[in-house]
Each structure stands twice: as structure tokens, then as C-alpha cells.
Structure 1
Amino acid sequence: MKTQVAIIGAGPSGLLLGQLLHNAGITNVILERQSPDYVLSRIRAGVLEHGMVELLRKANVHQRMEAEGLVHEGFELALNGQRARIDLKALSGGRTVTVYGQTEVTRDLMAAREQAGALTVYGANEVQPHDLKTSAPYLTYELDGQVQRLDCDYIAGCDGFHGIARQAIPAEALKIFERVYPFGWLGVLADTPPVNEELVYASHPRGFALCSMRSATRTRYYVQVDANEQVADWSDERFWDELKLRLPEDLASRLVTGPSIEKSIAPLRSFVVEPMQYGRLFLVGDAAHIVPPTGAKGLNLAASDVSTLFDLLCETYQNGRSELLERYSEVCLRRVWKAERFSWWMTSVLHRFPDADPFSQRIQQAELDYFVGSEAGRRTIAENYVGLPYEKIE
């Protein structure tokens, strides 16, 4: 089998890249190790930046997002019981974010790909890239016990942090930057109405908390826990009690609780690998970078990688400018590091660090007081939260 672009991974980034390429007349095949149901079972982020919303429109998979997604013009910071609103729309030149779950984005992209008749091979095991430094790379994989080969011009590694794409690059060719945080987020998904019409990020002496949502009837709440905590030790009742303690009294008093339909602990880390390309293999999204979820950047950074790679592949196939592909890593990393900085900053100022001395605690408070109390500070938060512009390729 032969195609122009081979994509490893049928998560939202692989599917979005595939849909954009298909619409542009560039053939592509996606290889996915898991089943469609497994892919859709992953519970992930739900805040889409302005740029990702526009990219989904460009891919013509925006209809249900616009019908069911919740457009948010701001969010709140609850700092030691006091609430302050960041007016995203007013502070960022009219841009907003949309609350629409990653699972729903994936579902929409799957449906669009099926309707288009583009090929996704599910259950593809032992995927392995070959001859990445040549003009004729290819992938091998196992399907139903038989070894298959997929020839292509380029390979997009959209298979996540634990995927094969980054592992296929020689270790000596990569430089890794990483920070692991001494806490995680205990998250609960529940069919309850949101406690607030906008997201609330809470900083409290007991630790960080986040009140988020997936829809008007489904909520996603988080509390900061020690990195060694176990989900089994947290009953629903214990979670709700702890969340109430970290929220301002007026919010806690109207919090609607209910049985959790999903509960998990996510460790927090910052991770970047450089470069994001090796020969004709391009790393996309979590395969190349991880951000703490505090700044709502993970899925959105993957979308900006997709946008960059799509533009470069269009220049290659439509205008013969294949030399521009050499700029992929450089262009992506400029935006990646700015998003890493914002996610690190949000994590640093809103969480409680177990080894923080009194001086560090006062600096953390002063940092928050300055940014929230200054229009320039609030504007900086807003323009980063709605997403920095995508870099144009010229």
C-alpha cells in the first residue's frame, strides 16, 4: 500500500491532520493500535483556543461544536476566597475560548473521515518507521497476525507521549527538557450542573482546585493532590468535601454533587523534545511536548503543530517548496516554548508546593496580586489563555 502522508495515531491531532490533508487532495492513511471505542474512551481536555476553533472550521468539522460547544468570554480566579474575573474577550481583542470535550472533537473527526472514505487502520500493532533519512520512508505493522507495509513520502507521528514515533528517532539526535511537579490532579467527571457559568481556577492554602465543565449538564472538577496519592483512597464524598473547602463560600454553597462517572489522577509534568523532526518524520502534539493542564494548552498545542505541518505539506505538494519542511521544528518550537512558559507560570502561581519556604510563598502571592491587580497583567493572562497567533509560513 502507498500513500503520500502516513499518520501514526488516530487521536484528535492525527485525525485533524488527516482531514485537512484529505480536503486539500493530499492522500493519507492513519495507523492506530487501539480500537475506535478505546480511542473515544479517553477523557481529556475540553477548552479550545480561538486558533483551534478556527482550524476545526477550516477542516469543516465545526458544525456540532458550534451547536453544542459553550463559548466562554472569560474565566475566574478564586484567590484565598476572593473572586476575580479575567475578561478574555475585552482583553484579547475580541477572542474567546470554546468549551467542547476532546472526546467530542475526536468523535466528529472520526465521523468526517468515515464519510470522506479516507482509510484508518485500527488494530495496527508493532508499527515501525523505516528509512526516515531517505526520500522513500515506509512503515511496517502487524494486522491480524500478518506483517503489512505502507510506503509514503512523509510520516507524521501523532501517537502521543508513549508512542513509537519519538522512539524511532536515535536518542543522540534528540535533546530532552523536562520538569516533573511534586503533585497531581485528582479529577472527577460527574453529570451535575456546573457550579459557575465560567471556569474557576482556585488557589487555596489547602491546594489548587479547578471547576470546569463539558456541557451544561456534565462537569469536570479537579483538586491538587500529592504525587503519591491513590484514586482508591478518594471516595466521592471525600472529593466533594475537599473541593468545597478550597472554593469561596458562595461557590461552595451552591455546588451540586453527585456520583462520579470517571475518576483519575493525572501527574503534572513539562516536557519538550528538540528537534521535532528527523528526516521525513515529524512529531506532532504529545509525541513532542507535554504541558501541565493548568493553562489548557495540551490539545491546543497539538492543533498548532497540525496547522504548521499542514501548511508546509501544502506548500510542498501544491507549490513544490519542499525545502520549507525543514522549518517545521523551528516554527513549532517558538510557539511550544511560549505555551510551556504560560502553563509553567499558571502552575507555579496557583499550586501549593510542599517545599516552599515563607519567602517563596510571599513571592507567589505578590506575583498573583500584581498580575490580577494590573490591566497589563490581566491582558497578558488573557492573550496567552485564548492562544497566541499561529505563525504564518512564507
Structure 2
Amino acid sequence: MKTQVCIIGAGPAGLLLGHLLRAEGVDCVVIERQTPDYILGRIRAGVLESITVSLMERLGLDARLKSEGLPHGGFNLADGERLIRIDIADLTGKQVVVYGQTELTRDLMDAAEERGLEVVYGAADTALHDVEGDAPFVTYMKDGALHRVDARFIVGCDGFHGPSRRAIPASVGKEYLREYPFGWLGILADVPPCNHELIYANHERGFALASMRSDTRSRYYVDVPLTDRVDEWSDDRLWDELAVRLGPEAAAHMVRGPSIEKSIAPLRSFVFAPMRHGSLLLAGDAAHIVPPTGAKGLNLAASDVYYAADALTAFFRRADNDAIPGYSDRALARVWKAERFSWSLTRLMHRFPEDGPFERAMQVAELDYIASSRAMQTAIAENYVGLPV
């Protein structure tokens, strides 16, 4: 098979990039290791910035997002005594939209055949070859046979554990890593949310988050030691802990119910640079991970895709040979700002094991300052709603 761009990974980043390239007349194929059902079975976040929403609008694939998504004009920080509301609509003139990543992926997946986007599922043992040159290719196994895709460019949208980043020599790239000493224990339940906006809580017992997927499906989190196991947390124990950490106001409106899904996710901050080597571009989790505190993971992938689609379209449609070399710097400039925001919000809202009275006093002072300063709230709102691309 020959194509102009071979995309590795059919998650939201890979599918979004594929649709954007096809809309511009650029030939591409998407290679995915898993099945469609497996991809849609993954539970992921869903707070969408303007960039993500605008790309779906640009593709004309936003009908369900507009009818089912929940526009949010603000969110809340809880410090154990009060809710500090960050009014992002008033402070920035923008809003975020709560719409599950699974649903966004489904929209992209369902439109693939109609839009002429070829997606190969069940591609095992995917390997990248000759990425330093102008004629890279990808091999994979499917139905007992070896397949090959020749392309001009490869874009790795295959996540943290995929093969794309490993195709870049260690001598070329640099990894920046911060691992956090706790994980997020999450519960998904078919119950109405306790608040119409998200609540991030810093309590003496630890962090908690109240969020939602819809008006009838809620997602809650608490931070736990990495040594904890899911089976140690019954639904009742988790609901009790959430009620304490989120505070009496949220607890009074909390509706409890059986978990649909419950899991513990470790937290890390990770950046790989550069995000381009030869004819290989990296996007999304293949190049960076952010702690979920700032709701940046999917949105950073979308901005990567925006830059990658722009560069690839310029190369193929306008013969712009400078577009591809500039991709990494453009993407990383936004990545590092999002990493900074996610790291700082994580630091503010969690109690770290090594922290003492001084660190706690700094958190209290910071939250007090946020509560009383419109300028500080504006800075937080601008980062939360998404910095310009």
C-alpha cells in the first residue's frame, strides 16, 4: 500500500488528524493495533477546550457534541471551607464543553467510511522503518500476513507505550519526567452530578474531584497511595470518602449508586522532545503526558493535530518545505505551557507525602490569593479554557 501519510493509532488524535488531512485532499491511512470495540470501551475524560470543539466544527462532525455536550462557564476550587468559583465565561469570554472522549472518538470513527478515511484495525507488531529518510514505511501483521505501507510521512498517535516514539534514537530525543506519589481512584456511576460544574477539592484527607459525563452520569475521583488496590475500595467506602473530601455542600447533593467502572490511574508529567525526527512526527500521548488535574490530555493532542495537519497540508498542497521542520517547536511551545498549568494545579490541590507545615501554608495562601484576585482567576481561567494555538 502507498499513501502520503501513515498515521499510527486510531484514538481521537489519529482519527482527528486523518479526517483533517482527508478534508484537504491529502491521502492517508490509519493503522491501529486494537479493535473498534476495545477503543470505545476505554473510559477517558471529556472536558473539551475551544481548539477541540473548533476542529470538530471545522469537520462538520459536531452535531452530537452540540446536542449532548454540556457547556460549562466555570469550575470550582474547594479548600475545605468554601467553593472558589472560577468564572471562565466572564473572565475569558469562552467556555469548555463536557463531552466524553469516548463519544468524540465514536463520532470520528462513525464518519470514517463516509469521508473516505481508511482505518486498519487489528494491526499487530507494527514497526516503523527508515524514518530518517524521505521514504519511510510501516509494517504490521494482520490475518497471518505481513503488510507494508509506504508513505512520505508517518505520524505517531499511538500513545505512551506505542512504537512510534521508540523509533527515534535515544541520542536524538530527550525525556522530561515527573512521577507523582499517588494515583487517582475513579468511579463512574449512572447518577446525576452533585454540582453543575466541576469541583476540585483540597482536603486534609486528600484530593477529590467531582465531574460528570452527562446530566445522568457522574465521574468522581480521590487520590490514593500507589500501593492501594481497587478491590480495597468498596463503592460505599469510596462514596463516604468523597462526601468528606468534597465538603458538606457537595455531599448534600451527592447521589450514590453502583459503579459502572472503577480504576486507579497513576499520575505523571512527561514530555519527549523533539516531536519530529526526519519523516516522523509525534502527537498526543506519544510525545507527552499531563496529570489529569488540568483536563489537558485530549486537548493537547488536538492542538498537536492542528499543528501537524497544518504542516502536512502546507507541504503537500503548497510545496512548503519549511512547514514540517517547524512542527515540533510550534507544538512544544503549547505543550510546555499546558504542562506547567497541570503541574501547578496538581501541586496546589494535592497533599504530597513529603510536605510539611510550610508547604501547607503556601497552599492556603495561594488559595486565599486566588479567591480575592480577579487577575489570578483570569490567569487560571485562560489556561483552563485553553491557550491560543
TM-score (norm 2): 0.99
**Structure 2 counterpart of 1:69:** 69
Q: What pairs up with 1:37-52 in 2 under 5 angstroms? A: 37-52=37-52
Q: Distance in 1 between matches of 2:80 and 2:220?
A: 18
| Residue 78 of structure 1, CA deviation | 1.2
**Structure 1 counterpart of 2:358:** 359
Alignment of 1:6 with 2:6, yes or no, is: yes
CA deviations 1:250-298 (Å, max 9, x no partner) are 2112210000000000101000011011100000000000000000000
| Residue 150 of structure 1, CA deviation | 0.3
| Residue 114 of structure 1, CA deviation | 2.0
Q: Which amino acid aligns with 1:53?
A: V
Structure 1 moving runs of 4+ over 2 Å:
none
**Structure 2 counterpart of 1:97:** 96
CA deviations 1:343-362 (Å, max 9, x no partner) are 00100000011110111111
Q: What pairs up with 1:68-217 in 2 under 5 angstroms? A: 68-92=68-92, 94-217=93-216
**Structure 2 counterpart of 1:18:** 18
Q: Distance in 1 between matches of 2:386 and 2:371?
A: 19
Alignment of 1:309 with 2:308, yes or no, is: yes
Alignment check: 8 A CA contact 2:69 2:97 kept:
yes
Q: Distance in 1 between matches of 2:376 and 2:383?
A: 11
Q: Which amino acid aligns with 2:236?
A: E
Q: What pairs up with 1:281-300 in 2 under 5 angstroms? A: 281-300=280-299
CA deviations 1:130-165 (Å, max 9, x no partner) are 111111111111111111110011000000000000
Q: Which amino acid aligns with 2:352?
A: F
Q: Distance in 2 between matches of 1:70 and 1:81?
A: 27
CA deviations 1:113-139 (Å, max 9, x no partner) are 122232111010111111111111111
Q: Which amino acid aligns with 1:77?
A: L
| Residue 172 of structure 1, CA deviation | 1.5
| Residue 77 of structure 1, CA deviation | 1.2
Q: Distance in 1 between matches of 2:187 and 2:207?
A: 14
Secondary structure of the residue aligned to 1:171 is coil
Q: Which runs of 5+ in 2 are unaligned?
A: none
Aligned length: 389
Alignment check: 8 A CA contact 1:125 1:143 kept:
yes
Q: Distance in 2 between matches of 1:387 and 1:205?
A: 30
CA deviations 1:167-221 (Å, max 9, x no partner) are 1111121101000000110000000001001111111101110000000000000
Q: Between 309-318 and 258-267, report the one with greater CA deviation.
A: 309-318
CA deviations 1:314-360 (Å, max 9, x no partner) are 11111110222101111111000000000001000000111101111
**Structure 1 counterpart of 2:31:** 31
Q: Which amino acid aligns with 1:81?
A: E
Q: Which amino acid aligns with 1:41?
A: G
Alignment check: 8 A CA contact 1:81 1:247 kept:
no
Alignment check: 8 A CA contact 1:48 1:98 kept:
yes
Q: Which amino acid aligns with 1:226?
A: P
Secondary structure of the residue aligned to 1:84 is strand
Q: What pairs up with 1:186-335 in 2 under 5 angstroms? A: 186-335=185-334
| Residue 81 of structure 1, CA deviation | 2.6
Q: Which amino acid aligns with 1:27?
A: D
Q: Distance in 2 between matches of 1:323 and 1:128?
A: 27
| Residue 227 of structure 1, CA deviation | 1.5
Q: Which amino acid aligns with 1:103?
A: T
Q: Which amino acid aligns with 2:171?
A: E
| Residue 369 of structure 1, CA deviation | 1.4
Q: Distance in 2 between matches of 1:322 and 1:68?
A: 41
Alignment check: 8 A CA contact 2:209 2:246 kept:
no
Secondary structure of the residue aligned to 2:316 is helix
Secondary structure of the residue aligned to 1:337 is helix
| Residue 372 of structure 1, CA deviation | 2.7
Secondary structure of the residue aligned to 1:80 is coil
TM-score (norm 1): 0.98
Q: Distance in 2 between matches of 1:247 and 1:219?
A: 14
Q: Distance in 1 between matches of 2:182 and 2:101?
A: 24
Q: Distance in 2 between matches of 1:118 and 1:272?
A: 30
| Residue 76 of structure 1, CA deviation | 1.1
Q: Distance in 2 between matches of 1:282 and 1:212?
A: 33
Q: Distance in 2 between matches of 1:124 and 1:51?
A: 30
Q: Distance in 1 between matches of 2:370 and 2:156?
A: 38
Q: Distance in 1 between matches of 2:320 and 2:332?
A: 21
Secondary structure of the residue aligned to 1:170 is coil
| Residue 371 of structure 1, CA deviation | 2.2
Q: Distance in 2 between matches of 1:263 and 1:272?
A: 28
Q: Which amino acid aligns with 1:312?
A: A
| Residue 248 of structure 1, CA deviation | 2.1
